[in-house]
């Protein structure tokens, strides 16, 4: 008999990503007695500094921002009842096209094999039954999200393990409503140019291509509080404007596409651990 507990590993790029895309499943599965492992690849140093000071502006100190965000991440993990937090601590690469992309030591500049080898050590240590990360485009083209996908898939190839593997996604039906919802809550949404609009239209998946719809409504309050723990980034976390009740109503299902499976569980499924228990 194998006494190892069922284990979920989520591989994310920055502090606060764990709450946005997987806060519901982390909280739900922790409540169900499943061991939850969060791997955060970067230090978040390209986030806002105290008072909302932006990267590159006077007074923005990446090391100080990284320390602050580490503390916020630990608070978020407490809220979500994450069993183990692992930090790879690569330098935040910033958004695509930022100078930080090219900085030595940034996650984007790190050879995939190097990052994958470190993650493979964690895979061997924790032996997860389910691994979650981003798709090949990092959901919306963020370099650190793309790199997280690359090192995760490479690390899995380095090990003999065969967990169920999922990429986070969003249904296109929801993405079409997103601008409307943002305007509802007072966001200043400008009409994108045709190229940006075409790129936005490619984010997420058609509803029928999503393999896994996990109901996390009962944990919406935890997910909201985990996001709120990242207070320094509040200006950038649009979802906090909704308030807990509306947030839970709109964000109560987390969606994924299953890309590796040996269980034969039928899709669409409503449980990342379908076929494992």
User: CB within 8 A of 151, min separation 6: which ones?
Assistant: 11, 41, 112, 115, 116, 118, 119
Q: What is the mean pLDDT of residues 22-42?
A: 98
What confidence tens digit (pLDDT) does each residue in 165-181 have?
999 999 988 766 666 77
Residue 196 has a pLDDT of 52
The pTM (predicted TM-score) of the whole model is: 0.91
Whether 134 has a pLDDT exceeding 80, the answer reads yes
Beta strands in the chain (DSSP E): 7-12, 35-42, 84-90, 130-133, 164-169, 212-215, 253-260
Q: Per-residue pLDDT for 130 more than 70?
A: yes
Going by the DSSP 8-state scheme, the letter that residue 5 receives in this structure is P
The mean per-residue pLDDT over the stretch 225-250 comes to 86
pLDDT at 80: 98
Measured CA distances, 53 to 48, 61, 234, 264 (Å): 6, 9, 12, 49
For 182-214, write each residue's pLDDT tens digit. 667 665 555 555 555 555 556 788 999 999 999
pLDDT of residue 1: 43
SS (H, E, C) 125-181: HHCCCEEEECCCCHHHHCHHHHHHHHHHHHHHHHCCCCCEEEEEECEHHHHHHHHHH
Sole residue written with tokens 């969060």? 38
Q: Provide the pLDDT for residue 190.
A: 55
pLDDT (average), residues 228-243? 84
Q: Bigger pLDDT: 240 or 6?
A: 6
Q: Mean pLDDT, the chain, as a whole number?
A: 90
The half-sphere exposure of 14 on its side-chain side, counting CA atoms within 13 A, is 28
Mean pLDDT over 97-105 rounds to: 92
CA angle 121–261–167, rounded 5-degree value:
70
How is the beta sheet containing 7-12 ordered, strand by strand? 84-90, 35-42, 7-12, 130-133, 164-169, 253-260, 212-215
pLDDT (tens digit per residue) in 60-70: 999 999 999 99
Report pLDDT digits (tens) over 68-93: 999 999 999 999 999 999 999 999 99
């Amino acid at each position: 008999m194998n006494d190892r507990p069922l284990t979920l590993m989520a591989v994310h790029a920055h502090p606060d990503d764990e709450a946005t895309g997987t806060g519901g499943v982390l909280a739900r599965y922790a409540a169900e007695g499943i061991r939850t492992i969060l791997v955060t690849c970067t230090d978040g140093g390209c986030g806002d500094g105290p008072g909302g000071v932006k990267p590159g502006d006077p007074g923005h100190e990446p090391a100080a921002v990284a320390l602050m965000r580490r503390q916020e991440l630990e608070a978020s993990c407490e809220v979500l009842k994450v069993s183990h937090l692992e930090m790879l601590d690569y330098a935040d690469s910033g958004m695509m096209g930022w100078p930080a992309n090219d900085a030595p030591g940034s996650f984007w500049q790190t050879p995939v094999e190097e990052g994958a080898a470190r993650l493979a050590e964690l895979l061997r240590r924790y032996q997860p039954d389910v691994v979650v990360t981003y798709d090949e485009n990092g959901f919306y083209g963020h370099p650190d999200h793309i790199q997280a996908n690359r090192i995760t898939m490479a690390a899995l190839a380095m090990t003999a393990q065969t967990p169920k593997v999922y990429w986070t996604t969003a249904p296109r039906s929801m993405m079409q409503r997103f601008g409307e919802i943002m305007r509802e809550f007072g966001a200043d949404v400008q009409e994108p140019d045709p190229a940006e609009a075409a790129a936005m239209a490619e984010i997420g998946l058609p509803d029928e291509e999503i393999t896994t719809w996990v109901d996390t409504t009962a944990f919406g309050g935890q997910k909201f509080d985990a996001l709120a723990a990242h207070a320094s980034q509040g200006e950038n976390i649009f979802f906090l404007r909704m308030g807990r009740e509306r947030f839970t109503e709109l964000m109560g299902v987390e969606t994924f596409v299953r890309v590796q499976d040996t269980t034969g569980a039928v899709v669409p499924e409503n449980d990342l651990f379908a076929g494992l228990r």
